[in-house]
């Protein structure tokens, strides 16, 4: 609801002004709208048992919904463009910026995200994915890309906070968590699938 209010407010403001600033505000409006789509997909989508993609070798692949991931990328891209516009205004006409402090924060955030942009362009920033195969289980998401052979996996269990399916890995340290907000299936199904994959590999 808060994001919806922000979208409506920014829409009204963007049509109350004109020129370069107006286009930047409309860009922010688009970014917030895309974030709203991703948030609805991640938080409101009903989670139920779904059959995953199955590869020829038997690997079962759970992939984050497109409506969760692509709007996030779109919003990020729009924010980078808006940050570039505000950086240009800050250099050429600082007085044209309605809120220089907010613009500076946005530009700083955009600069800070450039390493992740490089990771994205080089294939090291990942769409959330869980692969359960004959040799082990692989989880990819954002900067994480880890594979555990079945010999290192005890099983899996539900975790309440943050919500998701935790993979029981041998050794010290916290068990890796597969966040449920990134997927369209229930955490119970992910736990069952991991346990079943381990049981099948041990036969």
pLDDT value of residue 8: 54
In this structure, the chain runs to a length of 203
- Whether residue 137 is found in the same domain as residue 85: no
State pLDDT tens for residues 39-69. Answer: 999 999 899 899 999 999 999 999 999 999 9
Task: Assign 171 a pLDDT band (cuts: 50, 70, 90).
Answer: confident
State pLDDT tens for residues 83-124. Answer: 998 888 888 877 777 777 888 888 999 999 999 999 999 999
- Whether residue 100 is found in the same domain as residue 172: no
Number of domains comprising the chain: 2
- Whether residue 71 is found in the same domain as residue 112: yes
Q: Which residues contact 54 (CB under 8 A, 6 or more apart)?
A: 60, 61
Structural domain that includes position 186: 126-201
Task: Assign 146 a pLDDT band (cuts: 50, 70, 90).
Answer: very high
Tell how far CA 48 is from the center of its chain: 20
- Whether residue 27 is found in the same domain as residue 71: yes
* Closest alpha carbon to 37 in 2, 3, 60: 3
* Residue 38 CB neighbour total at 10 angstroms: 20
CATH number of the domain encompassing residue 153: 2.30.29
Name the DSSP letter for residue 61. E
197 and 137 in contact (C-beta within 8 Å)? yes
- Whether residue 95 is found in the same domain as residue 149: no
Interior/surface letters 12-34, b for 16+ CB within 10 angstroms, e for the rest: ebbeeeeebbeebbbbbbbbbbb
pLDDT value of residue 1: 53
Q: Residue 10 pLDDT more than 60?
A: no
108 and 102 in contact (C-beta within 8 Å)? no
pLDDT value of residue 17: 54
Q: What is the mean pLDDT of the chain?
A: 88
């Amino acid at each position: 609801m808060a994001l919806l209010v922000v979208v409506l407010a920014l829409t009204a403001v963007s049509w109350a002004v004109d020129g370069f600033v107006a286009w930047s505000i409309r860009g922010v409006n688009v970014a917030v709208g895309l974030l709203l789509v991703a948030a609805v997909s991640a938080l409101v989508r009903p989670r139920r048992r779904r059959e995953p993609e199955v590869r020829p070798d038997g690997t079962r692949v759970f992939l984050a919904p497109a409506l969760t991931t692509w709007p996030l990328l779109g919003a990020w891209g729009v924010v980078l463009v808006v940050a570039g516009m505000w950086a240009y205004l800050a250099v050429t006409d600082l007085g044209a910026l309605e809120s220089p402090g907010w613009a500076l924060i946005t530009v700083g955030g955009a600069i800070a995200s450039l390493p992740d942009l490089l990771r994205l362009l080089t294939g090291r920033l990942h769409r959330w994915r869980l692969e359960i195969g004959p040799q082990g289980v692989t989880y990819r998401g954002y900067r994480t890309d880890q594979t555990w052979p079945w010999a290192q996996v005890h099983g899996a269990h539900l975790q309440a906070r943050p919500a998701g399916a935790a993979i029981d890995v041998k050794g010290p340290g916290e068990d890796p968590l597969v966040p449920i907000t990134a997927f369209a299936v229930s955490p119970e199904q992910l736990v069952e699938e991991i346990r079943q994959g381990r049981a099948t590999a041990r036969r």
